[in-house]
Structure 1
Amino acid sequence: MTPAMTSADHRPAAFFDVDDTLTRGTALFRFLAYWYAVQGRPPHEAVRERQRLKAMTTAGADRAETNRAYFQLLTGAPAAEITRVAESWFRAELARGGFFHEPVLEALHTHRRDGHQVVLVSGSFPALLLPVLEHTGAHHLLCTEPEITPISRTYTGRLADRPHQPMIGRAKSEAVRELAAAHRIDLDSSIAYGDHVSDAPLLSLTGRAVIVGDDQDLRRLATHHGWHRLPKAPEPPPVPLPEPHPAPPGALL
């Protein structure tokens, strides 16, 4: 009979929300502005889409709904092109500076030096997050996964038909539970970082938690649970836009 696993057999992890926690600003929208510029589309188009999604939130849509609406903007885009543009965008962000929220980035580096597993948990998607994972040295990625057609390798505008999609709210905590079981992570000795009340299920899952910023609902929870707090990220610098290169006629960008 296999003996019961004890906490001593497990290791701690640090779980990080990404947008407005690890980074300054929302990578999804910063990338959208860059991607539209690559296509030669005017800046106001990206601004208009961001305002449309914000209006959905104001009208009562939850983050999962607006997240799904964002990925409809990728409909028909070749996956390889999105990956290429995302890598170019991330390099431009690093060159511009001010992409990461430094206190949180330093906390991530400290957890890595202490031998903790570092996990990025985000409503963003792999094309944007894999460069962040590689740059920070994080070990695992849990994120929203847009559906890509198997033959043409284009985005369908829908999310993949798998559990925990989109990676928002309770889906984060459920995915973290599964990852912890698969990788022998002790959640009681782990820590989570987040900036929005939708991160509360994740923050409540670990033995320690850190809220980032001024979300009033999270601050009330932090007071109740004794969670720590880091300051809100400063406003990010403008998105570093490329010179436009309009797609040729018939391209699926």
Structure 2
Amino acid sequence: MTEGVGAGGGVRRPPYLVFCDVDETLIDCKSMFEFLRFQLVRRQGADGEARYQRIAGELRRQSADGAPRESVNRAYYRAYAGQSVAEMTALGREWFALSSADPGFFIRDTVAELERHRAAGAQIVLVSGSFLPCLAPVAERVGADHVLCTSPGVENGHYTGDVTEPVIGEGKRAVALRMLAEHPWVNPRDCFAYGDHPSDFPLLDCVGNPRGVGDDPAVRAYLDRRREQTASADSGCALACWSMGHDELSGACSGNCALPLD
């Protein structure tokens, strides 16, 4: 789903796009689980906590049993069947107001990167398997221009429990490629993408400048492969560099291309 939220406003031609995963890349939590618990407890008290534990336990069991992440994502949204979109939207803003008051809610380095890209004229695109009640206030806070996210079915102002397209794994590739197609003047090699998990690789594949957040060894290995594929004698710094000690926008590099540990 594409939503124009945040600081975009008006028609403009950005020089490049920046795709950014949200959970544990931009914010230091799993928004879907955090919000599920918050809204259930807020509405149902102790019964809501018990229901959250049942739902979360079943989702974790499915994941541990090897269910595809897309299937687990669909199962998550079945928990919202019959719930009011307006109520969840209001609760999402309440959840964000409380959660973002914690200084550690946002990952500072990622926020700083997005600010630098925005200053260079880029458009910021958040990409997540979460949904708008969680993501819209996050996007507004960081000035994102678009949100590409899972879109639960809605009828008569209430969630149906169905999902048309989970934005998980290959779903992230699909929505990113559609966004790039909508910006034909943008060269994908000039674009950036940020992720923290192997499920973000399809998104990182879409751009010339993949970036890793955190210390997942599989992400490090992926970036090493990208570095090997793209490095050349005159390329300077490899593509798979974090900006710590690296001026991504000018191309200058200090030579310290290791991913930092958060």
- TM-score band by shorter chain is 0.7 to 0.9
SS of structure 2 residue aligned to 1:166: coil
Moved more, 178-187 or 13-22: 178-187
How many Å apart are 1:232 and its aligned residue?
5.7
What residue is the counterpart of 1:5 in the other structure?
Answer: none
Letter in 2 for 1:12: Y
Are 2:44 and 1:40 equivalent residues in the alignment?
Answer: yes
Alignment of 1:1-253 (within 5 A): 11-42=15-46, 43-149=49-155, 151=156, 153-160=157-164, 165-184=165-184, 185-226=186-227, 227-229=240-242, 230-231=259-260
* Shift, 1:157, TM fit: 0.6
Answer whether contact 1:10 1:186 (CA < 8 A) is retained. no
Give per-residue Cα distances to partners, 1:158-192, cap 9 Å, x unaligned.
013xxxx1001112112111111213332110110
1:67–1:166: 8 Å Cα contact kept in structure 2?
Answer: yes
Aligned length, in residue pairs: 219
Q: Calculate the aligned-residue CA RMSD, in Å.
A: 1.7
C-alpha distance in 2 between matches for 1:155 and 1:232: 39
C-alpha displacement of 1:59: 0.4
Amino acid at match of 1:147: G
For residues 62 and 228 of structure 1, do their structure 2 counterparts lie closer, same or farther at Cα, with a shift above 3 Å needed? farther
- Aligned letter for 2:222? L
Q: Any idea what the Cα deviations from partners look like across 1:196-226, whole Å, max 9, x if unmatched?
A: 1111111111011111123332221111112
Q: Percent identity?
A: 36
Secondary structure of the residue aligned to 1:95 is coil
User: Are the aligned partners of 1:119 and 1:142 in contact in 2 as well (CA < 8 Å)?
Assistant: yes
Q: How many Å separate the matches in 2 of 1:113 and 1:177? A: 24
Structure 2 residue runs of 5 or longer lacking an equivalent are 1-12, 228-239, 243-258
| Alpha-carbon offset, residue 97 of structure 1 | 3.2
Q: Relative contact order: is structure 1 or structure 2 higher (C-alpha 8 Å, sep ≥ 6)?
A: 1
* Distance in structure 2 (CA, Å) of the matches to 1:195 and 1:58: 20
Aligned pair in 2 of structure 1 residues 112, 50: CA closer, same or farther (>3 Å)? Answer: same
CA contact (8 A) 1:86 1:127 kept: yes
The residue type equivalent to 2:28 in the other structure is R
8 Å Cα contact 1:13-1:186 kept in structure 2: no
Q: Give 2:218's aligned amino acid.
A: D
Normalised by the size of structure 2, how large is the TM-score?
0.79
